[in-house]
Amino acid sequence: MVKILLLGLSGDTGCQVATVGLHEVLLGILKANELVYAPTLMDTKEIPDKIDVAIIEGGVRTEHEVETTKKIRERSSVLIALGSCACFGGVPGLANLKEGDELLDMIYSEQKGTVASDMPTVDKLLPKQQAIGDYVKVDYRIPGCPPETGDIAGILTTLLSGGTPELSKTDVCELCPRERIGEYSKKLKRIYEEVADPERCLLEQGFLCMGPATMGGCGAPCPKAGMPCDGCRGPTAGNSDQGLTMLDALTSLTKEANENFSLSEYAGTIYRYTYPTSQLAKVLNGGRKK
Ligand code: SF4
Ligand code: SF4
């Protein structure tokens, strides 16, 4: 019986709950294998000495989480990063655009309704949010916010039956039904600024849709529903920096729209899920922390 661990760092549980969404597939997995540690789903206290497959969600933000991640890696044969926080640092990684004290001041003293003297003491906080792969070897990544249950099921069942799992090699545009006619807007717009044509590609209309820079396989539900893809599945296969791929795609927009673009304004859009593992972070912060 394969021994499985399921753990969330940084208090994260959403991607583990997505795992519960596997329904019958999960029951089949649990029938043939053993869940040995999963604090969100069962009462377990100690990380076991021997784990076959460890699945970790959440980014790394405290020294305790670094120790836990390293301990699990040492005791596991296979380690899977579940969700975009574990894979790339995720949305909380945008906090890395601020320095530690500056960030705490912004949240706890400068917001309306906060009192500077109520600043909490955060024990052993790391200077930056990091992805799991910045500290230990990751064997497989299942990105998404949350990950698609089909991806979780596919990777787990393939792995548990002795195969080599693979994720989509396409981008989100591949399954997007919106029409591309090769004509581009002169203006870069936010989705609330103008009513989008429901049939045409959002990027061509000037809305910053991350489809060309984002791993496919989700079926493009966001552009289908009228919202630009915000890139939750991280970079496409073979590209390590989602923001740079998007900058490349943006060069197809008109000169006027590109003049509208500023990295400081759009860094949170093109790196919403991947800033800690980006080249930009490497340049600004002097590299990833080991
Ligand atoms: S850029 Fe967005 S709207 Fe355009 S085809 Fe790609 S996913 Fe669809
Ligand atoms: S369309 Fe984009 S934001 Fe929406 S689920 Fe797919 S990857 Fe995530």
Work out which ligand 1 atom sits closest to the CA atom of 177: 8
Q: Is 5 in the pocket of ligand 1 (CB under 6 A)?
A: no
Residue 112 counted as domain residue:
no
CATH number at residue 85: 3.40.50.700
Give burial (CB, 10 Å; 0-12/13-18/19+) of 72. buried
Structural domain contains residue 202: yes
Q: Which phi and psi (to 5°) does residue 37 adopt?
A: -155, 120
Domain boundaries, position 8: 3-96+127-160
Atom of ligand 2 nearest to the CA of 219: 6
Radius of gyration of the chain (CA): 20
DSSP state of 171: B
For ligand 1, the distance from its centroid to the CA atom of residue 237, given in whole angstroms, is 17
Boundary-marking domain end, from 160, 180, 205:
160
Same domain, yes or no: 71 and 47: yes
Please give the pLDDT value at position 38.
92
Neighbouring residues of 112: CB distance < 8 A, sequence distance ≥ 6: none
Ligand 1 touching residue 222 (CB < 6 A): no
Q: Tell me which amino acid residue 181 is.
A: I
- Sign of the torsion formed by the C-alpha atoms of 155, 44, 132 and 13: positive
Number of domains in the chain: 2
Same domain, 21 and 149: yes
Q: Does residue 1 contact residue 35 with C-beta atoms inside 8 Å?
A: no
**Ligand 2 in contact with 138 (CB < 6 A)?**
no
pLDDT at residue 286, rounded to an integer: 62
> What atom in ligand 2 is closest to the CA of residue 221?
1
Most ligand 1 atoms within 8 A of CB, residue of 168, 170, 171, 172 to mutate: 172
Report the residue count for the chain: 290
Atom from ligand 2 closest to the CA of residue 214: 7
217 CA distance to ligand 1 centroid (A)? 14
Does some domain include residue 30? yes
Q: Give the model's pLDDT for residue 290.
A: 45
- Nearest CA to 54 out of 71, 70, 73, 68 is that of 73
pLDDT score of 152: 92
Q: What are phi and psi of 56, to 5 degrees?
A: -120, 130
User: Which residues are within 8 A (CB) of 156 and not within 5 positions of it... i.e. 6 or more apart?
Assistant: 22, 25, 29, 53
Return the pLDDT at 21. 84
Residue 41 lies in a domain: yes
**Contact 231 CB / ligand 1 (< 6 Å):** no
CA–centroid distance, residue 197 to ligand 1 (Å) = 12
Q: What is the mean pLDDT of each run of 10 residues along the chain (290 residues)?
A: 91 85 87 91 91 96 94 97 96 88 81 77 82 97 94 92 92 97 90 95 95 96 97 94 93 82 89 94 67
Is the CB of 211 within 6 Å of ligand 1? yes
Q: Indicate the burial class of 269 (C-beta count within 10 angstroms; 0-12, 13-18, 19 or more).
A: middle
Report which ligand 1 atom has the smallest distance to the Cα of 214: 7
Q: What are phi and psi of 143, to 5 degrees?
A: -80, 175
